[in-house]
Chains A and B, each alone.
Chain A
Amino acid sequence: MKILIVDDNNDITSLLSNFLRLQKFECVSTNNGHNAVSLIRQNKFDLVILDLAMPEFDGFEVIKSLEDHGLMNRQRVIVLTASTISNDQSDQLLGKNITVLRKPVQLPELLQAVH
């Protein structure tokens, strides 16, 4: 399974990549929402793990961009966020078949969501 990790926190992208690679997943990471959209357009990912709170181009904007380009259905999306999101926002995401995990997510839960 090929996974794209999008988070502006370098430590998290690096650690998460290492962890998932140990679980025999292929991982690519980026710290930038714009780059994430470009990568998704150019490559086929099975899963995108997306942080919502990112500067300049946050997770919501990434999701909107993917919808606009018809790329949302190509892969599963897990949103991993430390921010408080409203119930509306949470419902919207769930409606788009996006899994929402709140940081700090424990690894068994994360692996379950990934599988």
Chain B
Amino acid sequence: MSSDKPVQHIKNFQGKEIEQERIIFAEIQSSMQEKISRLEERNRELENKLSLNSNDSKEAEQTQVLLKGLAKHETIKAQIMSKKYYLTIAAMSVILAGILVPYSIYVTTLVGEQYRVIGLEPTRDGYVIQNIKGDTIDTWLSWRITDGQTLYVNIHGAEEFPRQTELIKDAIFSEEVYEIDDSLTGKGSAGETSLYYPGWAGAMKAASAEVTVFPIPTNFEVVESDVGAGDITIKLVDYASADGYGGFTKSIADENQNQILKSEITVYDVNNLTDEQFTTIIRHELGHAFGLAHATAPEDLMAPNMVDEFPYISECDVDAITSLYNHGRLSTVVCEK
């Protein structure tokens, strides 16, 4: 009986110990479970975060890929534009060179070359001054008009020669001025130029820049009539001159006043003249009609043989007009240049 109690006690004690261990173990287990749960949760959070970061990282990577692609495209585009730019510059340079080189050649080719008339045949003309009685006289002459008075130029044969009529009008009314290098006209060296006038209106305006004793005619009117008689009459005929003249001018003068009363110009063999020849003859004869005699310089428009390659009214013709109308008493055209 007394030996059972210690055993029971021991059994009780062991049971309690075990219970205690069990309690502690359960506690530990519970605590570990809790920890595991927390860790699992933390792991899930981290996995989520990693996943999100991974997504963000992938999104960021995708953005980068797109940016690189666009940048590459822009670089290629810039290279193409740069090439195009340089090609454009090169093309523009070629075009400019294509324009500038001929232009510079044109410019360095002497000034006025374009006014050269090729193939003019030497043409003689006749010029006579008669007094009222019909006697041939040799004197200086000029028109005596009032300032601004119109000189009438009557054309006989205008209907038969319409093209030539227009050429006459050009030779009268043109106010153009040509600048021509002196080396082309034989008057001087290259680089120096002189002025020339294809029409008498332009030349007379230049001449009247200086005030003269007698007004220089600057106003003209052309009348196309076979029966009229203007201050200057131009007759166009289709037969050749027996004397071989291309043109002939007869001026009727008051020799006491040295005044031209009328001038009559005849141009012969009109149908066989080129436009350049015809125009040269008209310019020359009109010079006589205004009072000029022949020029001393063989290359001048007013030279006896009209063979100049630049058959235009020269500066010395203009100076001669100015002198003549300023009571200069000299009708011969003397060219210093």
Measured CB to CB, the residues of A under 8 A from B are: 9, 11-12, 15-16, 18-19, 22, 53, 80, 82-84, 102-107
Known: A12-B63, A80-B62, A105-B62. 10 other contacts (CB 8 A): A9-B63, A12-B59, A12-B66, A19-B70, A22-B70, A53-B55, A84-B51, A103-B61, A103-B62, A104-B62
Measured CB to CB, the residues of B under 8 A from A are: 51, 54-56, 58-59, 61-67, 69-70, 73
**Cβ of A18 to closest chain B Cβ, rounded Å:** 6
**Cβ of B91 to closest chain A Cβ, rounded Å:** 27
Assess A104 versus B64: contact at CB under 8 Å? Given A15-B70, A19-B70: yes
Identify the closest chain A residue to B64 (Cβ): A104
Cα A105 to Cα B61 in complex, Å, equals 9
Assess A15 versus B59: contact at CB under 8 Å? Given A22-B73, A84-B51: no
**Cβ of A108 to closest chain B Cβ, rounded Å:** 9
**Chain A neighbourhood of B58, CB < 8 A:** 82, 102-104
Identify the closest chain A residue to B61 (Cβ): A104
Identify the closest chain B residue to A83 (Cβ): B55
**Cβ of A86 to closest chain B Cβ, rounded Å:** 13
Contact B66 A106 (CB under 8 A): no
**Chain A neighbourhood of B67, CB < 8 A:** 15
Cα A29 to Cα B56 in complex, Å, equals 20
Identify the closest chain A residue to B63 (Cβ): A11
Cα A18 to Cα B67 in complex, Å, equals 10
Contact B70 A18 (CB under 8 A): yes
Identify the closest chain B residue to A8 (Cβ): B59
